[in-house]
Chains A and B, each alone.
Chain A
Amino acid sequence: MTTATAVAPRAKRSPRQRAQRIRMVQYGVLALLVVLAVLFIDGRAVTSTFFRPDMVQKALTQGLPFAFLNTVAYTAGAFAVGLLLGTVLALMRLSQVAPYRWLATIYIEFFRGVPAIIVLIAFSLMPLALPGLRIPFDPYGSVWLGLGLVSAAYMAETIRAGIQAVPKGQVEAARSLGMSSGLATRRIVLPQAFRIVTPPLTNEFVALTKDSSLVYVIGLTADAYDLTKYGRAMSNTYANITPLVIAGLSYLVVTLPLTFLVRKMEARQARSK
């Protein structure tokens, strides 16, 4: 503390001045950390461990783009399955028919409570348990179903909340125009519900993108590798972790634009309220 402030009576500092001082201290600590990092971290060692240029080059030219496409394919398919099934489950949860509600509740509680990785393993082994069963587009089909069934449970609850957020008057207006209950749901309620839940569903997509890395637990041929599996295999081969780091950063290509989009959508929804 400088003598000037020590002399000044404390009580005279306004809340705004106090807040300013606290902020200055925070900035100071941050700056100090950066300086320490620059001084004590050996940049070359970090680079050769995590970002070896020749390995980056290898990864980018040897299959990483394919692994990226596989990750996108696994995620998109699982999301489609989850969205479709989740919508059906949400409508079942809100149904007048009690057995539908029970079924949906049991499904949702089961798949929300069980680790996705186990569901995925179980699904890949399904043909063993049920001889003659062939899941189409294998291994993609197994992944879509395995991850989709789990994410459907989460999406169902989100979509249910969205449906319930649509004012009751919307259904009344639709019904009073002679629309059947199903028509009112399809044309009036669901379009509004999906608009409400687009941000949380996009977050679900981001989570699913990362969960797609779980596919390593089922036996994959090299051309079906996702980003993580690809990165690990290559890192093992060359005894350098750079490919895995690059694979990890590749997820951001999908997730960052999406989270950015969600933030914009949420801001727009907040404005229109």
Chain B
Amino acid sequence: MSVTAARIPTGNREDEIQIYNLHKSFGDLEVLKGIDLTVHRGEVVCVIGPSGSGKSTLLRCVNLLETPTQGRIFILNEEITDPDADIDRLRTLMGMVFQSFNLFPHLTALENCTIALTQVKKMSPARAKEIAMQNLHLVGLGDRADSYPLKLSGGQQQRVAIARALSMDPELMLFDEPTSALDPELVGDVLAVMRDLAADGMTMMVVTHEMAFAREVADRVIFMDGGVIVEQGSPEDVIGNPTEERTRSFLRRVLDPTHVETPDDHAASPPA
């Protein structure tokens, strides 16, 4: 089989997310300036970078919560940026976990997990409940199924949000800073669930500030700054031994927040 370099999409079933020349502007502000990225089946990709670097926007473009200004995105070789695409169906293939959980406060943990199963997938309530309970058990919250979100801690809410996304039986999962809104002592439970998911072979794209998690779980780390991918590679390379000065400067600030920048440090991006 001959594969030409320009073939879009690749048609390769192992390429779950394909992003070509993605641009996104908010008014005059160009947040993404031409992103090319492919995420393979079973791969865990962590996207790191300073705030305002466009990493969350990139993730939100993948399931079209943000409409790209330019460029094409394929999910399992189907173009989601096609104006005629069945976006609702393509979104069911992608689980999304938000920084602020976004659980439905008027529904119990269980109902949060079942509502899309019964309403979108037209599943019977009994079958939906069965699946939802499985996933609530998976995140360690089987005993809180009847609790309303506001009665749960932040870490528990985020784990319910993960169970809600998993209940749709997605092909891949998108995480948008899933631990950034959590108290430090609750971060571990959520990361543990994500670690298990990764070990189970789930395809994951994770925007995160948790360097230790990225280093341990990621197959590939992407460093973004100023709307472009500055550097990518294995966690050992990007976090352990970055080649780009912008990456080094960012990691210095993240890993050693008390460090005082000197003129020698040459900060390419505005200080956090």
Contact B115 A187 (CB under 8 A): yes
Given contacts A172-B65, A173-B96, A173-B98, contact A179 B119 (CB under 8 A): yes
Q: Are B89 and A177 in contact (CB under 8 A)?
A: no
B37 at interface (Cβ–Cβ under 8 A)?
no
Closest to A176 in B: B96
- Are B94's CB and A176's CB within 8 A? yes
Which residues of B96-137 are within 8 A (CB) of A?
Answer: 96, 98, 100, 102-106, 115-116, 119-121
A192 to B105, CA, bound (A): 8
Q: What residues of chain A lie closer than 8 Å to B103, measured between beta carbons?
A: 173
0/1 string, B135-160, CB within 8 A of A gives 1: 00000000000000010000000000
- Residues of A near B65 (CB, < 8 A) are 172, 175-176
Contact of A170 among B91, B104, B116, B121 (CB under 8 A): B104
A residues 179-196 touching B (CB-CB < 8 Å): 179-180, 183, 187-188, 191-192, 195
- Do B164 and A177 touch (CB < 8 A)? yes
Tell whether, in the assembled complex, residue A177 and residue B92 are in contact, meaning their CB atoms are under 8 Å apart: yes
A50–B92 Cα distance when bound, in Å, is: 69
A175 and B91 in contact, given A169-B98, A183-B120, A272-B150 (Cβ under 8 angstroms): yes
Which residues of A sit under 8 angstroms from B161, Cβ to Cβ? Answer: 173
Please tell me if the beta carbons of B168 and A178 are within 8 angstroms of each other in the complex.
yes
Name the interface residues of A235-273: CB closer than 8 Å to any CB of B.
Answer: 272
The answer on a CB contact under 8 Å between B91 and A178 is: yes
Contact B102 A172 (CB under 8 A): yes
Interface residues contributed by chain B, number (CB under 8 Å): 26
Indicate if the CB atoms of B116 and A177 lie closer than 8 Å. yes
**Which one, B102, B120, B150, B165, contacts A179 given CB within 8 A?**
B120
Check B116 against A179 for contact (C-beta < 8 Å).
Answer: yes
Please, what's the 1-or-0 string for B183-213, where 1 marks a CB less than 8 Å from any CB in chain A? 0000000000000000000000000000000
Q: Chain B residues with Cβ under 8 A from A175's Cβ?
A: 65, 88, 91
CB pair B63–A176 under 8 Å, yes or no, is yes
Give Cα A172–Cα B99 distance, bound, in whole angstroms.
Answer: 12
Q: List the B residue with the shortest CB-CB distance to A177.
A: B116
Known contacts A178-B121, A192-B105, A195-B106; 14 additional CB pairs below 8 A are: A169-B102, A172-B102, A173-B103, A174-B104, A175-B91, A176-B65, A177-B116, A177-B120, A177-B168, A178-B88, A178-B89, A178-B92, A178-B168, A179-B88
Cross-chain pairs A/B with CB under 8 angstroms, 29 sampled: A169-B98, A169-B100, A169-B102, A170-B102, A170-B104, A172-B65, A172-B96, A173-B103, A175-B88, A176-B65, A176-B94, A176-B165, A177-B92, A177-B115, A177-B120, A177-B164, A178-B88, A178-B91, A178-B120, A178-B168, A183-B119, A183-B120, A187-B115, A188-B104, A191-B106, A192-B104, A192-B105, A192-B106, A272-B150
Residues of B within 8 A of A (CB): 63, 65, 88-89, 91-92, 94-96, 98, 100, 102-106, 115-116, 119-121, 150, 161, 164-165, 168
